[in-house]
């Protein structure tokens, strides 16, 4: 099987998986709406709306960040290749290496700056995908009465588990932001110390 056939097969499997996940969401929603429990109230309707909107947001965020991730990587490769070719050409065309040194001085920081942006899209894409996957897993367990959803008051257990998953996602986001800020700040201070 060649590359294009493998790619076509992978795309077909991805589409089938997306159909199955859509079925799971639909079946979960029907069960949620029709499950007779003591706790059925407006809170359940509100939670249902919040969760479904959250999934729509995640799905669009996954697609956007995946697209931006690969787009930025393509730009980064093009800039790197152009800088390499420019340095190679300028070295033979210009007697003075001042221009070459100028390019060497400014291109790497630019590439590093853009790489930070690429990592942001990659991290967000990964985090959203994991978050969405954990929600679908909980929906599947709920749908098929798999523990802990094989007892009474399963809606409260489900809500609590989804909120734990959401909290973990938010904490991961906050950790990543703090880590990036520390790297940027420590890099700026290091640069200032070297200049001074």
Q: What is the Cα–Cα distance from 36 to 159, expressed in whole angstroms? A: 16
pLDDT at 196: 44
Please, what's the b/e burial string for 147-159 (b: 16 or more CB within 10 A of its CB; e: otherwise)? eebeeeebbebbb
Q: What is the Cα–Cα distance from 196 to 51, expressed in whole angstroms? A: 53
Q: What is the pLDDT of residues 92-114, one digit of tens each?
A: 666 566 666 666 667 766 776 66
Handedness of CA 157, 158, 161, 162 (dihedral sign): negative
pLDDT at 37: 61
Q: What is the pLDDT of residues 158-172, one digit of tens each?
A: 999 999 999 999 998
Q: Point out the least confidently predicted range of 68-72, 112-116, 130-134.
A: 112-116
Q: How confident is the model at residue 72 (pLDDT cuts 50, 70, 90)?
A: confident
Q: Which two tokens stand for residue 23?
A: 């079925």
Q: What is the Cα–Cα distance from 87 to 79, expressed in whole angstroms? A: 12
On average, the pLDDT of the chain sits at 79
pLDDT at 193: 47
Task: Please say if the pLDDT value at position 140 is more than 90.
Answer: yes
Q: What is the Cα–Cα distance from 161 to 169, expressed in whole angstroms? A: 12
pLDDT at 137: 94
* pTM score: 0.67
């Amino acid at each position: 099987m060649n590359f294009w056939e493998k790619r076509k097969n992978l795309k077909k499997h991805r589409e089938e998986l997306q159909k199955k996940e859509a079925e799971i969401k639909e079946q979960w929603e029907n069960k949620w709406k029709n499950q007779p429990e003591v706790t059925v109230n407006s809170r359940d309707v509100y939670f249902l709306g919040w969760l479904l909107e959250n999934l729509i947001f995640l799905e669009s965020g996954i697609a956007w960040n995946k697209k931006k991730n690969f787009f930025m990587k393509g730009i980064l490769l093009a800039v790197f290749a152009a800088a390499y070719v420019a340095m190679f050409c300028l070295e033979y065309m210009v007697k003075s290496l001042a221009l070459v040194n100028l390019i060497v001085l400014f291109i790497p920081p630019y590439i590093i700056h853009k790489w930070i942006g690429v990592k942001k899209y990659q991290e967000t894409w990964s985090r959203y995908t994991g978050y969405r996957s954990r929600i679908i897993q909980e929906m599947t367990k709920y749908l098929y009465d798999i523990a802990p959803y094989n007892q009474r008051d399963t809606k409260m257990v489900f809500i609590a588990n989804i909120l734990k998953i959401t909290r973990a996602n938010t904490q991961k986001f906050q950790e990543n932001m703090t880590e990036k800020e520390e790297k940027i700040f420590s890099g700026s201070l290091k640069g200032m110390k070297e200049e001074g």
